[in-house]
Copies of this chain bind each other. A is one copy, B any other.
Amino acid sequence: GILVKNHLVIFDVAHLELTPREQAAIADVITEQPRYVLGSRVFHPEDTIIQTAHNRIGGQQFTVMAGPCSVENQAMITDLAAKVKAAGATVIRGGAYKPRTSPYDFQGLGETGLRYLRAAADQQGLDVITEVMSIDEIAVAAPYTDIFQIGARNMQNFDLLKAVGKAGKPVALKRGLAATIDEMLNAAEYIAAQGNLQIMLVERGIRSFDSTYTRNVLDVGGIAVLRKLSHYPVIVDPSHASGHADLVAPLAKAGVAAGAQGMLVEVHQDPAKALSDAAQQLTPAQFAPLVQQVQQIHALLQQPLT
């Protein structure tokens, strides 16, 4: 049984052996409750707001997170921090531990990269989001980051979810490439069950039968459904969904139009020379007007309907 706000949630009712006195104390029985009780809006109807050093994420806010796929060296991340800040970002992203398909690809700078990232963020007054891929990396990254990111490939790495749930910091959980909405909310529940409800849900595109022009299909319906079923902030990642720089803008705009409360965008000074994700990163010059348009759409959608 799980205790949620003075409600005792019990699955598998057939297994129960309640005394008559216990049964008399039950006010009502909720039968339509999904298994992810902590993440569900049933007992928690209001939006979760995540408070970090520099941001309030969720609710009516729209949070812009941006930065390079990988932290490549100190100069680039220091320079990019200033540029994404100027464009409207309040969180900087950057990978130090990279989940690469091949073991022979660039695997990230590790703790050195984290140090560069933190310094660049502090100079600009930005929060940091960075990915951890294993339990050991949580302790290494904790001093440097404000938000832990769990990547799509690790969405159902349940031991990692439990460990990051115990780490006491906000977690951005990316949807697996072929994860259902229910599987994603159950994965979030692994984090929540450790007492950590500071969770963001990131839609970053799902696998489909056609990857000729778009690497993945951004599931905008999934964004709307997550907003409805759960109280956690929902973030759109148009960069990984598209796989191509010229599709990032339409996907970002579609994501916010569907209800996303933030976006996570890859930005690089010279994408063609990037050590990873060369095809899909935006230049700062492409990024700045996108932030403007996305914020305008978001503002428009907050206005009451007449």
Contacts and interface: CB of A to CB of B under 8 A. Distances in A.
Contacts of A209: 178, 180, 206-209, 211
B221 A219 contact: no
Interface string A220-242: 11111100110000000000011
A102 B156 CA distance: 10
A226 to B, nearest CB: 9
A172 interface: no
A225 to B, nearest CB: 4
A253 interface: yes
Interface size class of A (residues with CB under 8 A): 35 or more
Given A103-B190, A256-B257, A305-B292, A207 B220 contact: no
Interface string A80-111: 00000000000000000001111110000000
Contact of A250 (B99, B137, B158, B223): B223
A198 to B, nearest CB: 17
A64 interface: no
Which of A136, A178, A206, A241 counts the most chain B CB atoms within 10 A? Answer: A178
Given A158-B133, A190-B103, A242 B217 contact: no
B217 A217 contact: yes
A40 B228 CA distance: 39
Nearest to A226: B213
A96 B105 CA distance: 34
Nearest to A296: B300
Contact of A103 (B177, B186, B217): B186
A255 interface: yes
Contacts of A251: 220-221, 224, 258
Interface in A249-283: 250-251, 253-259
Given A207-B209, A221-B247, 5 more contacts: A101-B182, A181-B210, A206-B208, A214-B222, A217-B221
Interface of A: 2, 11, 35-36, 99-104, 133-137, 153-154, 156-160, 162, 176-178, 180-183, 186, 189-190, 193, 206-214, 217-225, 228-229, 241-242, 246-247, 250-251, 253-259, 289, 292-293, 296-297, 300-301, 305-306
Q: Which 7 A-B pairs have the closest CB atoms?
A: A178-B178, A134-B159, A153-B156, A257-B257, A224-B250, A214-B221, A253-B257
